[in-house]
Structure 1
């Protein structure tokens, strides 16, 4: 805005740009946007970036799978790990992700990294419950 104000007051483009600390080309672009849109044309615009690897629908399915948990027979575990989720995504969507990239995707989905207590696939729930009730001593 300072450079445009200087240019409107009669300064040369080069002088107005130098006082504002920008290049003449940047001043020219700003003047064109100012003339077309007013002060709103000078606001920063979102930068185009790389498109997300997973679409919105795929992210919704991933979120559902995370909350549902892995299938022991198909996924080979009782709790999700990043490498297991990467293999699941590759099987399901035919897209390859590195575990670090998947970690960023999960953080953007508002999931935090939490570790669950490991559970052996052959664990006996009845024996576990009985042990919790009376401990290791038999009475």
Structure 2
């Protein structure tokens, strides 16, 4: 009875250019790759090229390493200004933050503290005075 209705499933698959494994769904018209990595090469990108180069970020990284060894701290706007002045690269400080995070830089906000100026003898004397002032126990 099937032959009276129309062509069989194999013939209809041949007409829509389908592989037998995919059933009756039509195959896309995308070109078949030969399996080499050259077939996956990026096309030229649209838009403006980046303002910074890898060499600019390497120079910034070297400067930050030197500054860390000297104990100097930097803000992102100051780093952006350094790149503009020394390398001629205009980068917004918020984008510079993203670039530095991509390279593995992490930072914390500096805190004001006087702990480094405290003398151990003075602290012990102050603790003794405080012990005498306690009203409980």
| Runs of 4+ off more than 4 Å | 43-50, 127-130
User: 2:93: which partner in 1?
Assistant: 99
User: 1:54: which partner in 2?
Assistant: 52
Choose 52-61 or 81-90, whichever is displaced more.
52-61
Paired residue total: 103
User: 2:104: which partner in 1?
Assistant: 110
Choose 127-136 or 96-105, whichever is displaced more.
127-136
TM alignment of 1:16-95, pairs within 5 A = 19=26, 27=29, 30-31=30-31, 34=32, 37-40=33-36, 46=42, 48-49=44-45, 51-69=49-67, 78-95=72-89
Task: Identify the structure with the greater helix proportion.
Answer: 1
The alignment partner of 1:96 has SS state of coil
Distance 1:39 1:130 in 2: 66
1:46-72 C-alpha deviation (Å, 9 max, x unpaired): 4654643321221111001112228x9
Q: What's the offset of the Cα at 1:19?
A: 3.9
Correspondence 1:11 to 2:5: no
Q: CA RMSD in A?
A: 3.9
Of the two, which has the highest radius of gyration?
2
- CA 1:45–1:114 in 2, change beyond 3 Å: closer, same or farther? farther
1:73-114 C-alpha deviation (Å, 9 max, x unpaired): xxxxx4111011011111111121111110011012111232
Correspondence 1:133 to 2:120: yes
Work out whether residues 76 and 96 of structure 2, in 8 Å CA contact, stay in contact via their aligned partners in 1: yes
Structure 1 residue runs of 5 or longer lacking an equivalent are 1-7, 73-77, 120-126
Structure 2 residue runs of 5 or longer lacking an equivalent are 1-12, 19-24, 127-137
